[in-house]
Structure 1
Amino acid sequence: MGHQAGDYVQPGARNEQDRLAALDNYDVLDTPREEAFDRVTRLVRSIFGVSMSTVTLIDGHRQWFKSQQGMPNQETERGPSLCNAAIQHPRPLVVPDTLQDLRFANNPFVTGAPFVRFYAGVQLRSPEGDAVGTLCAMHDQPRPFDNAQLAILVDLAKTVTSELELRTLATRDALTGALSRRALREEFSRAISLARRHKFELACIFFDLDHFKSINDTHGHGVGDLVLRACVEACRGELRSTDTIGRFGGEEFVALLPHTGAKAALAVAEKIRAAVARCRVEGENSPVRFTASFGVAALDGSDIDVDQMLKRADTALYAAKATGRNNCQMWHEQQPESGLLRRVLKAGLITFNGGRSTIESTIRGLSKSGAMIQVISTAGVPERFKLGVVSEELHRLCKIAHKRDNQIEVVFE
């Protein structure tokens, strides 16, 4: 049960930007695993007897798995992914044997790990109809997939989209009880407005757990969850009732401190740091201790918004990690930043070698003077290149200002 190549709909720049805007509205990229989505992918594997299942979301340069069963990575390149082909499809995409389908026979995910021989993907569509990703079933052997089975997969995909819609209403992180990222951003924006209106101080602390991946790898995700809960409880013990804590990412947290200046916020960060360092949770064989690194930023007289204030705190956090972790750093004007970056989610293309080499990317921040870019890997990206953002009709020569993990901050030349 396959489809002809003519079924594909090649998206234009406007359609692609509408799709990315719909994905951005869910504010789900790079958020932690959630049981509601893992339950669906476990059901897919169980019902259809397949070796792999994912809830896949696709931004400008990658497929990122909100949930994955049987897949080794959290994300892969977008270009060759079968889910990328599926979102360009008007109907569910079913490929009983990828080696017998000319579109996929030479695909690196077919000929190499994870060796996908069977694929069935149903688009996850926003209420406006934009395909932000897929729910897919995959197997390492070819197999048939009839209409009754496809109907079940379609129903499960509707369950995923319903969960995505519900997330926009959720205010609490289910694991730790901290504010969700969306709720934190809303509270942060409100706090900045109030602070400006009534002329009071406001500060934030951006912190994350040191070497958290190694905790999960060594002790398991169950212990990792206990560590996250303990971290939030330690933080609450040092905060006032008027302060707010939210979970920003997997092991990233933000504390919002109204009526608090930079110096006082740094003292609070130090108290939290010491409280976290005193924590321990019981592992299978021995107690597990952990630490965190902290960056502090305070509202000043400049016209900054939530994203810029978070960026400043994150810059200070990066400095804390660069100086050995388990310490607190304050953002100051000498720490580099490339202007007021507005938060965006746009597809970008990095071009170099006279146009012969290209790398797909996602633009996460943009200003008149620079951009924040996400890529699968910064390896091989030259110091200078041309950045294209089709939806903005922007083509600029860039110079790298900073690299961090899979992020590149550039200034326009």
Structure 2
Amino acid sequence: MKNANILQSRIDALLNVLSEDVLILSQLGTIIFSSHNESPIPWGEADELTGKNLNDIFPGDIASMLQGMIDKSLSLNQLMVKEVLFDPTVIVYLQQRGMAESCWVEVRMAPSAGDEPSVVCRIEDISRRKMAQRETSQIQRDLLTGMYNRRALMPVLAQSIAQALRYDWTCSLMLINVDSLRLINDQRGWDVGDQILKRLAESLNSLKRTADFLARVGEDGFAILLPETNAEQGILAAKRVSSMVSDLSAPHSGTDIHFTVSIGVATLSGEVDSAESMFSRAEDCLQLSKQQGGNRISGSE
């Protein structure tokens, strides 16, 4: 009996230092126990929830989802985790208790020991984490085209190089720049230049393979990482891009503005290669294509 009291005391102390909500739910979704120390969610008093069912608190779709988590946790005897939006305009129970703004929560359920089947449920407000993830995603994407940018490309390129070296594969990097885009912007207007970049981004996205990684790099170009692609295959891929671009145009004042691209391709050269050196070689090849008058393809291992 003494050991049981000590264990209960330790459990109470643990609950007191947790800022997350902790519930114990029966197999049928009834709340057996609840703890809400410093919770940002207005559940009400702890004993106010005891005895309530999930359907008494949440609308049908959320209650069904949570009940499904209970069923899976108990049947599979494992932890279940989901992210759920708590919207007070939908969850009337929380709205009536003063919740004004939506928040994202992480719901974690694990089977609980006891005579009756039950789960321990932890509910944590992760709104700040979701906001940080969204901001990180925005930092890694180009606002005009929605494509990934160079910041996102470089670690993926480094990983592709590491995998190629480990498994004796290869990979190539293609840089694609719109020829004379600044001149087009000056003569036709920035809207035309933006339309060209959007059309090119959409077409490149439809042309690339599933394993390829497309990103916008710089004001006038894109990069495509080509895993398991040697130098010869990289040049063939560049020719397909050049051929595709020959059919593209952007509308302007009732006419179609056609454009061309210059392309540089670099292929993994060995164990001393890195994402930075490979990108630099692709840039050198791209500059060679431009120096030769544009609408050219240059490659290098």
- Match for residue 196 of structure 1 among 161, 165, 170: 165
> For each residue in 1:113-164, what CA deviation from the matched residue of structure 2 results, as whole angstroms up to 9, or x when unmatched?
xxxxxxxxxxxxxxxxxxxxxxxxxxxxxxxxxxxxxxxxxxxxxxxxx99x
- Match for residue 145 of structure 2 among 156, 159, 176: 176
The answer (yes or no) to whether the contact 1:235–1:276 under 8 Å persists in 2 is no
**Which residue pairs with 1:69 in the alignment?**
none
In the TM superposition, residue 214 of structure 1 has moved relative to its aligned partner by 1.2
In the TM superposition, residue 285 of structure 1 has moved relative to its aligned partner by 4.2
**Which residue pairs with 1:281 in the alignment?**
250
Q: Which amino acid aligns with 2:176?
A: F
Q: Which amino acid aligns with 1:196?
A: L
> For each residue in 1:190-237, what CA deviation from the matched residue of structure 2 results, as whole angstroms up to 9, or x when unmatched?
111111122211001012110000111122111111100111122223
Q: Name whichever structure is richer in strand by fraction.
A: 1
Moved more, 215-224 or 307-316: 215-224
SS in 2 for 1:232: helix
Q: Which amino acid aligns with 1:303?
A: V
- Match for residue 292 of structure 2 among 300, 323, 329: 323
**Which residue pairs with 1:186 in the alignment?**
155
Q: Which amino acid aligns with 2:175?
A: F
Q: Superposed, which structure 2 residues align to 1:2-401 within 5 Å?
A: 166=135, 170-331=139-300
How many percent of aligned residue pairs carry the same amino acid? 29
In the TM superposition, residue 169 of structure 1 has moved relative to its aligned partner by 5.8
Give the TM-score normalised by structure 2: 0.53
Q: Distance in 2 between matches of 1:175 and 1:199?
A: 37
The answer (yes or no) to whether the contact 2:165–2:271 under 8 Å persists in 1 is no
In the TM superposition, residue 239 of structure 1 has moved relative to its aligned partner by 1.3
Q: Distance in 2 between matches of 1:321 and 1:331?
A: 15
Q: Distance in 2 between matches of 1:263 and 1:167?
A: 36
The answer (yes or no) to whether the contact 2:171–2:229 under 8 Å persists in 1 is yes
SS in 1 for 2:162: helix
The answer (yes or no) to whether the contact 2:245–2:260 under 8 Å persists in 1 is yes
Q: Distance in 2 between matches of 1:169 and 1:221?
A: 23
Give the TM-score normalised by structure 1: 0.39
The answer (yes or no) to whether the contact 2:148–2:214 under 8 Å persists in 1 is yes
> For each residue in 1:312-366, what CA deviation from the matched residue of structure 2 results, as whole angstroms up to 9, or x when unmatched?
111111111122210111125xxxxxxxxxxxxxxxxxxxxxxxxxxxxxxxxxx
The answer (yes or no) to whether the contact 1:228–1:251 under 8 Å persists in 2 is yes
Q: Distance in 2 between matches of 1:179 and 1:169?
A: 9
SS in 2 for 1:278: coil
The answer (yes or no) to whether the contact 1:203–1:261 under 8 Å persists in 2 is yes
In the TM superposition, residue 170 of structure 1 has moved relative to its aligned partner by 2.9
In the TM superposition, residue 168 of structure 1 has moved relative to its aligned partner by 7.6
Q: Which amino acid aligns with 1:237?
A: S
The answer (yes or no) to whether the contact 1:219–1:284 under 8 Å persists in 2 is no
In the TM superposition, residue 256 of structure 1 has moved relative to its aligned partner by 0.2
Q: Distance in 1 between matches of 2:248 and 2:287?
A: 23
Go from structure 1 to structure 2 and tell me whether the alpha carbon gap of 1:211 and 1:241 turns closer, same or farther (over 3 Å shift): same
**Which residue pairs with 1:391 in the alignment?**
none
Q: Which amino acid aligns with 2:166?
A: R
Contiguous gaps of at least 5 residues in structure 1:
1-161, 333-413
* Structural RMSD (CA): 2.1
Q: Name whichever structure is richer in helix by fraction.
A: 2
